[in-house]
């Protein structure tokens, strides 16, 4: 029996357009795929360390090969990653690369009482836990970092009375700044590949908040 190529094996999990589907249902499936802790970890590994095969990702994460394959298929189905068959040495290897896509959403995108709303609320909570874990890990490692990286890392906050319109304006400005800065970093990395770089995470939130009790 002829062994199927990696590209052929991945046809079952490939994203399929479904114009008749409710957009909110598609968004809910995307949120479930991306905000699973393991799947988000895998997308970040592919984004930071580059394309990898299933075996390499299993060794990198300590997960079983079957578990890695399952999570990759879910990500593939949502068009978050794509096969990279040209990197395989033979038909047994399944290589994957990150396929960045824009993801903007709000709990308000879903009607009250719907499954999509519950999914969005869960994703929002998981996203916060993810960001907290990332910050805690940095604080744990920071004492051992060089002075340059310690002082380059920064946090800023403010606490002022604001209108809803002013909060929306701040969010728009912040989103624009993050996009512009990210594009500049990527362009510079392409122009100067020899310069020391590290994966950097920028997190910012703006939301109504009463005084926090200790």
Q: Which residue has the higher pLDDT, 76 or 20?
A: 76
**75 inside domain:** yes
Res 29 pLDDT > 80: yes
Q: Give the CATH number of the domain where residue 88 resides.
A: 1.10.10.10
**163 inside domain:** yes
Tell me the residue length of the chain.
Answer: 214
pLDDT tens, residue by residue, 126-157:
999 999 999 999 999 999 999 999 999 999 99
- The end-to-end CA distance of the chain, in Å, is 67
Q: Is residue 21 located within the same domain as residue 90?
A: yes
**142 inside domain:** no
**39 inside domain:** yes
Name the domain boundary from 73, 98, 123.
98
Residue 24: band (very low, low, confident or very high) from pLDDT cuts 50, 70, 90: confident
Res 73 pLDDT > 50: yes
The total of structural domains in the chain comes to: 2
**31 inside domain:** yes
Number of H helices, E strands in the chain: 8, 3
pLDDT tens, residue by residue, 149-196:
999 999 999 999 999 999 999 999 999 999 999 999 999 999 999 999
**76 inside domain:** yes
Q: What domain range includes position 170? A: 157-209
DSSP letter string, 99-154: --------GGGS-TTSHHHHHHHHHHHHHHHHHHHHHHHHHHHGGGS-HHHHHH--
* Phi then psi dihedrals of residue 51, to 5 deg: -55, 150
User: What percent of the chain shows pLDDT beyond 90?
Assistant: 76
pLDDT tens, residue by residue, 193-207:
999 999 999 998 888
Name the domain boundary from 98, 124, 146.
98
Burial of 197 (0-12, 13-18, 19+ CB in 10 A): exposed
């Amino acid at each position: 029996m002829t062994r199927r190529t990696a590209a052929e094996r991945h046809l079952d999990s490939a994203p399929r357009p479904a114009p008749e589907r409710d957009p909110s249902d598609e968004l809910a499936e995307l949120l479930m795929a991306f905000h699973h802790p393991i799947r988000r970890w895998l997308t970040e590994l592919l984004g930071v360390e580059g394309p990898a095969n299933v075996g390499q990702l299993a060794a990198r994460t300590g997960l079983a090969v079957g578990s890695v394959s399952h999570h990759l298929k879910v990500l593939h189905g949502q068009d978050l990653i794509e096969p990279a068959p040209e990197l395989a040495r033979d038909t047994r290897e399944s290589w994957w690369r990150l396929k960045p896509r824009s993801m903007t959403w709000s709990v308000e995108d879903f009607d009250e009482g719907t499954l999509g709303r519950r999914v969005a609320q869960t994703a929002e909570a998981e996203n916060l836990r993810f960001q907290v874990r990332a910050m805690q890990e940095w604080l744990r490692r920071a004492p051992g970092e060089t002075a340059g990286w310690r002082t380059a890392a920064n946090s800023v906050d403010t606490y002022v009375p604001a209108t809803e319109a002013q909060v929306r304006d701040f969010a728009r400005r912040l989103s624009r700044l993050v996009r512009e800065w990210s594009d500049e970093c990527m362009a510079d990395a392409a122009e100067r590949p020899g310069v020391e770089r590290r994966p950097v995470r920028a997190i910012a939130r703006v939301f109504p908040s009463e005084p926090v009790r200790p």
